[in-house]
Amino acid sequence: MSCACTTCHIIIEDGFNNLEDASDEEEDQLDKAWGLEQNSRLGCQAYPVDEMTVIRIPKYTINLVSEDH
């Protein structure tokens, strides 16, 4: 929930207008997301105001976490 990466990139299929507007910081992060669409948001920043919201998880995401130990 820190708006620091794009690993939670989602695409809003239905209910995009039920979300609060994206912040400038979120918009900047979304520019780095793979498969960006008009109705893309970061899941950690998208809070439905009311009613149902349907999302789709993109086929690919950018994983900024290193798994090497």
Q: Return the pLDDT at 48.
A: 83
Q: Return the pLDDT at 49.
A: 80
pLDDT (tens, 9 = 90+) of the chain, 69 residues, equals 778 788 899 999 999 988 999 999 999 999 988 889 999 999 999 888 877 788 898 887 766 655 554
Q: Return the pLDDT at 66.
A: 54
Q: Which domains does the chain have, with CATH numbers?
A: 1-46+55-69 (3.10.20.30)
- Angstrom distances, CA of residue 5 to CA of 10, 14, 18, 53: 13, 24, 23, 22
Strand order across the 54-56 sheet: 40-42, 9-14, 54-56
SS3 25: helix
Q: How many CB atoms are located within 10 Å of the residue 12 CB?
A: 21
